[in-house]
């Protein structure tokens, strides 16, 4: 299988992850003009599985190092399977809440608050098992600046959205972020710590992400079915509506959204062995910055904001950027 062997390449993959994780929600914004997010989300989960399977059968099955995708899947121990599946289940409920928050509050709000919180907590979750691998000062400075950016973003949102909608959007984003911070550690714990000589019973990155995606899809029948019956906004939807109202274009948009997110997840996990999982996760969740840029400059989610909001947004962007730089420098500094 293909193994990342340099820190510079690992950082590059994490930057691509950041772009993917911060951009996939544009597909939801496009699809939401014609149907609700629970229907979009079925196609999204299919896209996640498709991309992870493609990676497993190509890069995960090439080269002489490690273990090929199919044999590794067949040799996995129940513990590794359980951890990867559990990661998928936790991610799924968190992501569904995030998608609901996007529908209510927009990308420029849901991502910086929800995924920003996931970044902060997730970095600590992935840092604690191996703190000696990082420069703690740089890592904590980076996380602190990201936290500041989250607070500023929430203040900016309060300026343009008042009442129950404002509160609902923020609360959903916070719950999503809290749950989102835990999934990555479970996936990482399902994998071998040595990718060249795979520990018996553990996963390679390619197998781990594939089983993780299966966990997302299976749990969708519980979590997304609930949202179909009791949606956050709009009326209930049915599977019949998915097949009757879904045009090829809508299905492709949803699957594309899943492929984009899954590409980011795959690259992040591949980079984690060299960069460290705290850094690979933290940089990937810099998607908050990318999503905020989409929301502010493309979707114009703050176009009616009162005077002074632009200054808050500028401070938010600067705080995010400097924070991410410190997180990059935290490896071996």
User: Tens digits of per-residue pLDDT, 53-76?
Assistant: 999 999 999 988 899 999 999 999
CB-CB contact of 288 with 119 (8 Å): yes
Dihedral sign for Cα 175, 176, 179, 181, please: negative
- The DSSP secondary-structure symbol of 296 reads I
Residue 164 confidence (pLDDT): 54
Residue 8 confidence (pLDDT): 92
Q: What DSSP string runs through 141-204?
A: HHHHHHHHHHHHHHHHHHHH--HHHHHHHHHHHHHHHHHHHHHHHHHHHTB-S-SSSPPTTPBP
146 half-sphere exposure, CB direction, 13 A CA radius: 31
Residue 333 confidence (pLDDT): 45
**For 233, phi and psi rounded to 5 degrees?**
-140, 155
Residue 284 confidence (pLDDT): 84
Kindly give the parts of the chain with pLDDT less than 70: 161-166, 332-333
Residue 293 confidence (pLDDT): 86
SS3 call for 68: coil
The string of pLDDT tens digits covering residues 165-192 is 567 888 888 999 999 999 999 999 999 9
Residue 130 confidence (pLDDT): 83
- The DSSP secondary-structure symbol of 76 reads -
CA distance linking residue 224 with residue 264, whole number of Å: 22
Q: Give the contacts of 121 (CB within 8 A, at least 6 positions apart).
A: 177, 178, 181, 182
CB-CB contact of 194 with 182 (8 Å): no
Residue 256 confidence (pLDDT): 97
Residue 196 confidence (pLDDT): 92
């Amino acid at each position: 299988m293909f193994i990342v062997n340099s820190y510079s390449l690992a950082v590059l993959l994490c930057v691509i992850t950041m772009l993917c994780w911060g951009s996939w929600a544009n597909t939801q914004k496009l699809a939401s003009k014609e149907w609700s997010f629970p229907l979009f989300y079925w196609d999204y989960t299919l896209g996640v599985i498709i991309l992870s399977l493609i990676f497993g059968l190509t890069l995960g099955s090439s080269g002489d190092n490690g273990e090929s995708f199919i044999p590794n899947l067949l040799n996995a121990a129940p513990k590794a399977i359980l951890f990867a599946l559990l990661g998928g289940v936790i991610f799924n409920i968190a992501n569904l809440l995030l998608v609901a928050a996007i529908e209510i509050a927009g990308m420029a709000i849901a991502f910086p608050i929800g995924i920003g919180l996931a970044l902060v907590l997730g970095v600590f979750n992935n840092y604690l098992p191996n703190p000696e691998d990082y420069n703690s000062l740089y890592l904590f400075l980076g996380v602190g600046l990201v936290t500041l950016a989250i607070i500023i973003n929430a203040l900016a949102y309060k300026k343009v959205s008042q009442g129950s909608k404002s509160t609902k959007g923020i609360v959903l984003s916070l719950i999503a972020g809290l749950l989102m911070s835990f999934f990555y550690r479970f996936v990482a714990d399902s994998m071998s710590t040595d990718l060249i000589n795979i520990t018996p019973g553990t996963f390679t990155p390619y197998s781990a992400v594939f089983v993780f995606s299966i966990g997302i899809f299976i749990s969708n029948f519980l979590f997304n079915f609930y949202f179909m019956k009791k949606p956050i906004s709009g009326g209930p939807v049915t599977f019949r509506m998915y097949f009757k109202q879904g045009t090829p274009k809508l299905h492709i948009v949803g699957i594309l959204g899943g492929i984009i997110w899954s590409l980011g997840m795959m690259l992040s996990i591949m980079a984690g062995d060299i960069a460290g999982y705290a850094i690979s996760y933290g940089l990937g969740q810099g998607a908050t910055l990318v999503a905020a840029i989409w929301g502010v400059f493309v979707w114009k989610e703050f176009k009616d904001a009162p005077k002074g909001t632009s200054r808050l947004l500028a401070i938010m962007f600067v705080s995010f950027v400097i924070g991410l730089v410190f997180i990059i420098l935290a490896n071996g500094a």
